[in-house]
Amino acid sequence: MKNFNEKLAKWNHALPSTEAGINNIQIPGQVEHLVWQNRSRAPSQYELDFVQHLMQAFNQDVTELDALTDALNLQGFRTIAGDLWTAESFSAEMQRLGY
């Protein structure tokens, strides 16, 4: 099983692709259905760790943004730059990751 959509990775850029579309992403009747259809790459170790720390916080009934950033900091999980989490840095990271 593929870990990400290789065809998506080829045209997922800031500028629209001139090649995306018919016969590139799908060929009618020959569509390969992928588990990770709209993931252009496999997640990094940082992203996988981020998910685990978020799950740990959510399992402790953390639901508010400030409490979430506090929980991440208390767990010892830092931003990709190694900084403590703030509401602003968390929001920026969610936007960067596309979630």
Report the pLDDT value the prediction gives residue 57, as an integer from 0 to 100: 97
Contact of 77 with 49, CB cutoff 8 Å? yes
pTM of the model: 0.66
Report the pLDDT value the prediction gives residue 26, as an integer from 0 to 100: 58
Domain boundaries, the chain: 1-42, 45-97
pLDDT digits (tens, 9 = 90+) for 6-61: 666 555 555 655 665 555 555 566 666 666 666 777 889 999 999 999 999 999 99
Phi, psi of 26 (to 5 degrees): -135, 140
Report the pLDDT value the prediction gives residue 20, as an integer from 0 to 100: 55
- Pick left, alpha or beta for residue 72 (phi over 0 → left; psi -120 to 50 → alpha; otherwise beta): alpha
